[in-house]
Structure 1
Amino acid sequence: MHLRITLLAAARSSSLLDVRFEDDRPLDAAGWREAERAIPVYGHLAGAELRYCSPTLRCRETGEALGLRPIAQPALRECDMGRWRGRTFREVAACEPRAVDVWLADPHATPHGGESLFSFILRIGDWLDTRPGGEGEECPIAAVVEPTVLRAAAVYALKAPPHTYWRVDVHPLSAITLTGRAGDWMLGMDH
């Protein structure tokens, strides 16, 4: 079975403006407007055979704004940031500069007491690799996800080293499409 999985980054919320770890704030007014303006570009995703989203409020709201009516997937949650959850990068770097350096340098490190970057990328890859196929020749799947999830999926699909994660820049409402099957993905950029 050949799968086609489109991952769409959620519209912006205030949390994207102040970069908080694992923040679950809703879309802000600008995010709602951006999502509504994106309907002509991404509205076709509502026709996907399977429609998912990260469990955050902003992902669910983006999916609803686009008419997807997505099902929240716990496996598509952001990386577990432990005690750093809800804090900004700047706050954590000011209080725990050595821990931040370790976290950025070692993909297996968990100085925050949560999930390592390596484990996070594998979790997202496992979700990709276990998607069910549909009845047809190609099974279209859509998921509205946090930017961090989209980054992890790109790294996994490309079989790139984990530190590549820090080199993937994801903007609100940007998308990638993965085609293939478990362990054999091709990455396409959407526009």
Structure 2
Amino acid sequence: MHVRVTFVAAARNASLLAERFEDDRPLDQAAWDQVLHVAQQLLPLAASELRYCSPTPRSRATGDALGYSPLVQLALRDCDMGRWRGFTLGEAMAREPQAVDAWLADPRAAPHGGESLLSFISRVGGWLDTRPAEEGCRIVAVAEPSVIRAVLVYALKAPPATYWNLDVHPLSTTTLTGRAGYWNLRFDGVAPLPTRA
């Protein structure tokens, strides 16, 4: 049974100077402006039979602003970073350099007391493989870039370390077609965002 799952990366705040682990701040005005700028291009995805989102405020707001009325999926939450939640990578490194090194080097490591990279990839991959859908069903899911990176590693059956080499831009779309365990990737591109003066 083949389905098409299009992931839309949640809008990002302009004030986000450094990416924080499990950042749950809502969209700021600059992010809202970006969503409105690309809404016309992404609105057709609202016709998808199933519409989902990560539980973050940014993902929910992006999905709602695009007219998707998405259903929150806990399996699409960001990686559980334990005691590093809310830290930047630099802040975690300043406090626990050896633990960060271990976490970056070993996908099974969870020195922060949360979820390992391998567990995160498996969780979101399990969500992808268990989508209840009819043949030809179209699904859209608004998620944090980290979640989309994990899904791509899973779908491509790539080594977990590949996660660190993927870059997902805000409001970009990526489509997977196929079925559980057999996914094909289509790069849809990045919706052009307005430049700042």
Shared fold (TM-score, shorter chain, > 0.5) = yes
Residues 88-99 of structure 1: pairs in structure 2 closer than 5 A: 88-99=88-99
Match of 1:116 in 2: 116
Q: What SS does the corresponding residue of 1:52 show, helix, strand or coil?
A: strand
CA contact (8 A) 1:15 1:23 kept: no
Q: Distance in 2 between matches of 1:16 and 1:8?
A: 19
**Partner of residue 185 from structure 1, selected from 175, 179, 183:** 183
Residues 32-181 of structure 1: pairs in structure 2 closer than 5 A: 32-134=32-134, 137-181=135-179
Once the two structures are overlaid, the 10-residue window that deviates more, 11-20 or 81-90, is 11-20
Match of 1:2 in 2: 2
Question: CA shift at 1:15, angstroms?
Answer: 7.2
Question: CA shift at 1:13, angstroms?
Answer: 2.1
CA contact (8 A) 2:14 2:30 kept: no
Question: CA shift at 1:89, angstroms?
Answer: 1.2
Q: What SS does the corresponding residue of 2:177 show, helix, strand or coil?
A: strand
Q: What SS does the corresponding residue of 1:39 show, helix, strand or coil?
A: helix
Identical aligned pairs, as a percentage? Answer: 64
CA contact (8 A) 1:155 1:162 kept: yes
Q: What SS does the corresponding residue of 1:133 show, helix, strand or coil?
A: coil
Q: Distance in 2 between matches of 1:88 and 1:26?
A: 17
| 1:24 and 2:24 are equivalent in the alignment | yes
CA contact (8 A) 1:15 1:25 kept: no
Q: Distance in 1 between matches of 2:164 and 2:172?
A: 17
Question: CA shift at 1:40, angstroms?
Answer: 1.7
CA contact (8 A) 1:59 1:145 kept: yes
Question: CA shift at 1:14, angstroms?
Answer: 5.3
Question: For residue 90 of structure 1, what is the amino acid of its counterpart?
Answer: G
Superposed CA RMSD in Å reads 1.1
Q: Distance in 2 between matches of 1:126 and 1:39?
A: 29
Q: Distance in 2 between matches of 1:150 and 1:22?
A: 14
Question: CA shift at 1:87, angstroms?
Answer: 1.2
Q: Distance in 1 between matches of 2:101 and 2:173?
A: 29
Question: For residue 9 of structure 2, what is the amino acid of its counterpart?
Answer: A
Match of 2:193 in 1: none
> TM-score by structure 1 length?
0.96
Q: Which runs of 5+ in 1 are unaligned?
A: none
Q: Distance in 1 between matches of 2:80 and 2:15?
A: 16
Question: CA shift at 1:147, angstroms?
Answer: 0.4
* Alignment length (residue pairs): 189
Displacement over 3 Å in runs of 4+:
14-17
> TM-score by structure 2 length?
0.93
Question: For residue 165 of structure 1, what is the amino acid of its counterpart?
Answer: Y
Q: Which runs of 5+ in 2 are unaligned?
A: 190-197
CA contact (8 A) 1:14 1:27 kept: no
